[in-house]
Amino acid sequence: MPRLTLIDAYPTKTSDLQAETEDILQDHVPLDDTPDSHILHKNDHLKFLIRNLSQGFPARYVSQDASQPWLMFWTLQSFSSLQIGIDPDTKQRAIDTIMEWQHRDGGFGGGPSQAAHLLPTYASVCCLAIVGRPGPGGGWDQINREKLYNWYMSLKRPDGSFIVSNHGEVDVRGIYCLLAVAHLLDIVTPELIDGTAAFIASCQTYEGGFSSASHPQFIDGVLAAQRPSLGEAHGGYTFCALASWVFLHPYLATDYEALRVNIPQLIRWLVNMQGIESDLGGFRGRTNKLVDGCYSWWVGGAFPLLEALGVSPGDGASHVNESAENVWDDMDDSLFDRRALQEYILLAGQHPAGGLRDKPPKNPDAYHTSYCLSGLSAAQHRIRPSSTRREELRAAWKGEDGMRATAFSESLCWTEESGGSRVLGSAANRVNATHPLFNLTMTHTEGIMAHFYKQNVPKRTPTATGPGPRSH
């Protein structure tokens, strides 16, 4: 019996729910630990996705009318994660639908004729990265990048932040979406990102994770250095803030003492979001909350980003006392337990009827299907920036060396470590590697960026010699 979460003599609704959840999760643990007990039911998930795409979403999704780009992105990216191609006719239908969401003044809305918003703009452009192409009707060349950039600048605030839409609120998730799209479409400029890194740093909370925003303080018209964060640390905010920081890091001056993120405190918070064995190793999104499949990506996907900042888990495998009780017997040198996260997704995240979910006994949905699969990818693959790949991209760059070359090479230098794959179960459980910054496959990221930067992406070569993918 695994160790359960400790509770004191004063039970609460929170502790009762935690205990109930642990009991339910333990019911999903197989009696035998064999490859056959850990199966990714790809065909069932494929049927779930095809049903949503071809027949339409169930009636309960009517509340997501302003999130149409997200519903499409979650579906298309799930296909990509499962290594499923999309036929040309479906691609064209998707492109035509996406372009209906483009606002006449720049950006994309949540549906036709809806106001432009940073979040559906990211989802729309990512959809086009998956299904789009150059030329008439292909979507890529129909994106009005000039209007998009001008709209971005209209959303910029004096403290370096951005509101998510006209008359909207500041939210670090919107800033991540803006930076991701700006890098994909080659519209990053010094003016666009001026002051944004300082804002991101100000969103870190005392716990180490990040909140949605900070409170700007102006003294005699000058922005004060101290800006208190607003709200508690949260997995989604933390991923978006950390990814934004990684996007901005190459452009920071060497003497940026005032622009600091407390990395040790961030690591401490992230690793403590992974549940213990009674939680099946899933991730929670906030302190004292339940594990949830979507945080497999929002928290699990944050660990590769740390390596871009020079954080190394260490050399060699961790030393584990094999005789100790209540420890997983497959530890590696990662900052999180990759095997345990795969166990949670495979044992608790999959719904019997197809699709993936928060946790049992909940129903599957498009959101959790996408982010459980992306989290599974983050657990299976070890992707990090490669100095060799960066040099290859720089050497192949055509044109003036500057911010554009930096944006291109830093975005595409991420490489999977040879021999770094860890697939729980059989090799058939393998999903595609996803780019830690964009949550797109490496192929789709390279394709759209090569087009907009007008560059040729050099062929990839293995990063190192070593064993092939390992199954456990």
Positions marked catalytic: 234, 286, 289, 292, 294-295, 358, 365, 368
Which pair of tokens denotes residue 222?
A: 């000058």
The count of other CB atoms within 10 Å of the CB of residue 299 is 31
Residues 6 or more apart in contact with residue 464 via CB below 8 angstroms? 417, 418, 419
CA nearest to 367, candidates 18, 53, 70:
70
Class of residue 8 by CB neighbours under 10 A (exposed 0-12, middle 13-18, buried 19+): exposed
At 378, is the secondary structure helix, strand, or coil?
A: helix
Residue 22 CA to residue 291 CA, distance in Å, equals 10
Cβ atoms of residues 143 and 187 within 8 Å? no
DSSP state of 4: P
Which residues have a Cβ under 8 Å from the Cβ of 72 and sit 6 or more positions away?
94, 97, 98, 123, 127
97, with CB counted inside 10 A (0-12, 13-18, 19+), is middle
Which residues 6+ apart lie within 8 Å of 380 measured at CB?
338, 342, 421, 422, 423, 424, 429, 430, 431, 433
Residue 59, judged by CB atoms within 10 A of its CB (0-12, 13-18, 19+), counts as: exposed
Q: How far is CA 414 from CA 18, 96, 239, 435, in A?
A: 38, 31, 17, 7
User: Any idea which residue has 């979650």 for tokens?
Assistant: 74
Q: What is the distance between the alpha carbons of residues 63 and 334, in angstroms, rounded to a whole number?
A: 39
163 forms beta bridges with 170
- Cα distances from 359 to residues 35, 41, 205, in angstroms, run 22, 16, 28
